[in-house]
Amino acid sequence: MKAIITATELAHDLTGERPPVLLDVRWQLSMAKAAGAPAFDGRAEYAAGHIPGAVFVDLDGELAGAPGEHGRHPLPDLAQFGAAMRRAGVSAGRPVVVYDGGQGWAAARAWWLLRWTGHPDVRVLDGGLPTWQGELSTRVPEPAEGDFRPEPAAAGLLDADAAAALARAGVLLDARAGERYRGEVEPIDRVGGHIPGAVSAPTTENVGPDGRFLPAAELSDRFKALGVSADTEVGVYCGSGVSGAHEVLALAVAGIPAELYVGSWSEWSSDPSRPVAVGADPQ
Task: Confirm if 87 and 93 have CB atoms less than 8 A apart.
Answer: no
Ordered DSSP codes for 85-101: HHHTT--TTS-EEEE-S
Instruction: Name the nearest CA neighbour of 263 among 111, 64, 25, 113.
Output: 64
- DSSP assignment of 129-150, as one string? GGG--S--B-----PPP-----
At position 113, the amino acid (one-letter code) is L
Task: Look up residue 197 and give its DSSP letter.
Answer: T
User: Concatenated DSSP letters for 178-194?
Assistant: HHHHHTS--SSSSS--B
Clarify whether 238 is annotated catalytic: yes
Alpha helices in 138-242 (DSSP H): 160-169, 178-182, 216-225
**Contact partners, residue 178, CB within 8 Å, separation at least 6:** 200, 202
Annotated catalytic residue, options 98, 129, 238, 251: 238
In the chain, the N- to C-terminal Cα span, in Å, equals 36
Report, as residue numbers or ranges, the catalytic residues.
Answer: 238
